[in-house]
A and B are shown apart, each in its own frame.
Chain A
C-alpha cells in the first residue's frame, strides 16, 4: 500500500511542477505590476512552440528524387537527407536528439523579448485600469496568440520526442533501498520535477540575494516610495515581466515530451493555474508554489481507482472542489495577504 501511495505522490509531482511554474510566473506579474495576466497560459504555449520550431529547424531535410532507384511502389525513390546531420555529422545527430533541452537556450531570449514587448506595448497602459479590464485585454491577447499559432502550426498536437538517453524509467524504489522494480517513475518526469525545482529556487534566490531582487521586493511592497528614492522601478518591473514570461516559456518547453503541444495547451493550463494562484493566495510566491504542488498531488491521488471507487468522478473535480473549500474557509487562499484583489 505504501508503494502505491508513494507512486501516486510521485505522479503528482510533475503536473504539480508545471502548475507551480505557471502559477509562479502569474504571481510574479501580479505581485510586481499588479496586473492579472490571462495571457500567461499563452506564454507557456509559445514556449512549447519554441521547442517545436527548434526541432523543425534541426530536422530540415533536403529531398532529392533519385531516378535510378525505385521504391517498392515503383515510383522514383525520394532520398531525404537531414541537413544538420549532413553539415555536422554525429554532432548534428546529437543536436536533433537533444532538441528539447537545447530549445531552452533559444526560448530564454525569445520569451524575454516577447515578455518585454508585451509589457511595453500593451500591458503598460493597463496599470491604472480596473482588474476586469486587465483580465479582458490579456484574455483577448491570449486568443490572438492562440489563433496565430494555430494558423502557423495547424490545429493538431505535434509530438516532441524526448532524448533517447532520457527515455525509460528510473527505479526510484531501489535508490531508496526498497525492493527493485516496484516504484518506477519515467525519467523525464523526474527531470521535469528537478528542473522545476531549480527554476523555482533560482527565482527565489534571485529575488532574495541580489540587489536587483531586493529593489524589486521593495517595489512590490511600496512602489511609490522606491520610485521617490530615484530608482527606475518601472524598468525593473518590465524585466520581471520578461522573467515571468521566460519561466512560463521554459515550463512549456520542458513539458512538450510529456504532452504534445497544440494551440490550446496554454488555455488548458491557464484555468487550472489561476485556480492554483488563487488557492495559494494572490500575490504570494511561496503560496503559489505550494498550492501548485498540493493540487497536482491531490489530482494524482484522486485518479487512483481505489479512490474513484469510493467517490465516482472525484478525479474530474478535485482541483475545483479543493479550491472552493479553501476559498470558503480561508478567504485569501493559503498565504494571501489581506485586501489584495478583493475590490
Chain B
C-alpha cells in the first residue's frame, strides 16, 4: 500500500473515512444525527469534491454544474423505472449518461476561457433547465417531477421474477436503502470519490491540470495541447455530479427540474469557495456546513429563539428575538450571503485557509512544531 500512495495521503484518507463513518455519532449532539440530513451531507460532499476537480485544479469556473446533477437524477430514476429497482445499475447508468452529457457540453464550452466559459456553461445549464420544464416533459415529467409508480415496466426485475409489494423503493440486492442503510451506502461513495479525487490531484494528470490553472499560455507554448486535459477534468467532474444526482435519486426517488436551475449551480460554487478552493477536504466541509445551516437555521422559529434568549432581562430578549429571527427560518439565505461576503473578503482561501492560519499561529507561539490535525472540520 505504501508504494501505491504516500503515507500522508493514506492517513488523510483514513482520517476522512473515520470522520465520515462516525458522523451519526459525533453529529448527534449538534442535532444533525439523522439519516436524511446525513445522506445529503454525503451527496453534496461528492458534488463539491467533483466540482473542485474542475474549478480547484484547472481554474475553470463552471456556472452550470447543476445540469449534470439533474441529468444524473433523471437517468437514475429512468433506470429504476425501466430496468430494475437495484441501485447499482442506476448509478452506473447515471454516471455514464452524465459523463456523455459533460463530454458534449465540455467540448463546446472549453473552446473559450475566463468568463466566456462561465457564461457558456450557464447558458447550457439554463437551456437544459428550461427544456426540462417545457418540451422535454415526456422525459422529465415537467413540474411534477419524475416519480416511480407501481405500473413501471422494470424489465430486469420482471424477468428475474421479482414481484413488488407496496411502494417501489430503490434497493441494493433486495435490501431497501432507507435510513442509515442509505447513509452508509452514500458514505461509501463519498469515501470512494474522495480517494479518487486524491489520486487525481496527486497524479501527473493532476499536475497538468494545476499547470493549466497557473499558466495555460505557457503550457501551450511548451507544446502541450491543454484542451484534452481540461476536457477530461470537465468530464470527470460532470460524472461526479451525475453520481451525486443519482444518489439523491436513490435516497429520494423523485427527480425535479429545479435541481438544474442556476441557483443550484451557484450553491456548489459557494460550497467549494466556503470550504477552500483547490483543497481536498475543503469543498466537503463547505458542503456540510451549508447543508447543516440550511437545515438547522431554516427550522428555527420565533418560539425557539425566544427560549434561547430567555435568560436575558425582559424587553432585551424580545428585541434580540426580533433581530435574530431575520437571520433564521426563511431568512437563512441572508446569513448565508453575509457569511459568504465575509469569507470572500477576509478569507479568500475559505475555511481551510482559516484552519491553516490558526495552525500556523499555534506553531509560532510554541515552537514544538507539532502540526495540528488537518482533517478536523472547523466547527
Interface residues of A (CB under 8 A from B): 36, 122, 125, 129, 131-133, 135-137, 139-144, 146-148, 150-151, 155, 267, 271, 274-275, 278, 282, 312-313, 316-317, 320-321, 323-324, 327-328, 331-333, 341-343
Contacts and interface: CB of A to CB of B under 8 A. Distances in A.
A137 B341 CA distance: 5
A343 B330 CA distance: 38
A137 B345 contact: yes
A274 B134 contact: no
A312 B135 contact: yes
B331 A147 contact: yes
Interface of B: 59, 61, 108, 111-116, 118-120, 122-124, 126-127, 130-131, 133-136, 262-263, 266, 269-270, 273, 326, 330-331, 333-334, 336-338, 340-341, 344-345, 348
A210 to B, nearest CB: 30
B269 A323 contact: no
Given A141-B337, A141-B341, A144-B341, A331 B116 contact: yes
B80 to A, nearest CB: 26
A36 B115 CA distance: 9
A317 B112 contact: no
Given A131-B115, A313-B130, A320-B123, A147 B341 contact: no
5 contacts: A136-B270, A136-B273, A316-B133, A331-B116, A332-B116
Contacts of A275: 119, 122-123
A154 to B, nearest CB: 10
Closest 4 CB pairs of A and B: A143-B337, A313-B135, A147-B334, A316-B130
Contacts of B124: 320, 324
Given A275-B122, A278-B119, A323-B123, A140 B337 contact: yes
Given A144-B341, A317-B127, 18 more contacts: A122-B341, A125-B345, A132-B59, A135-B61, A136-B270, A136-B340, A140-B338, A141-B337, A271-B126, A313-B134, A316-B134, A317-B126, A317-B130, A320-B126, A324-B123, A331-B112, A341-B114, A343-B114
B112 A150 contact: no
Contacts of B123: 275, 320-321, 323-324
Contacts of A141: 337, 341
Nearest to B131: A313
A144 B115 contact: no
A333 B108 CA distance: 15
Contacts, number: 120
A341 B131 CA distance: 30
Contacts of A139: 266, 340
A324 B108 contact: yes
A151 B108 CA distance: 41
Given A122-B345, A328-B111, A147 B273 contact: no
Greatest chain A CB density within 10 A among B116, B266, B269 is at: B116
Given A151-B331, A320-B126, A323-B123, A136 B113 contact: no
A317 B136 CA distance: 12
A312 B133 CA distance: 12
A267 B131 CA distance: 20
Contacts of A267: 263
Contacts of A151: 326, 331, 334
A148 B345 CA distance: 20
A36 B114 CA distance: 12
Contacts of B133: 316
B116 A143 contact: no
B21 to A, nearest CB: 32
A343 to B, nearest CB: 6
Given A132-B61, A275-B119, A327-B116, A321 B127 contact: yes
Contacts of A137: 341, 344-345
Contacts of B131: 313, 316-317
A328 B108 contact: yes
Nearest to A316: B130
Contacts of A271: 122, 126, 262
Contacts of B113: 342-343
Contacts of B340: 136, 139-140, 143
A133 B111 contact: no
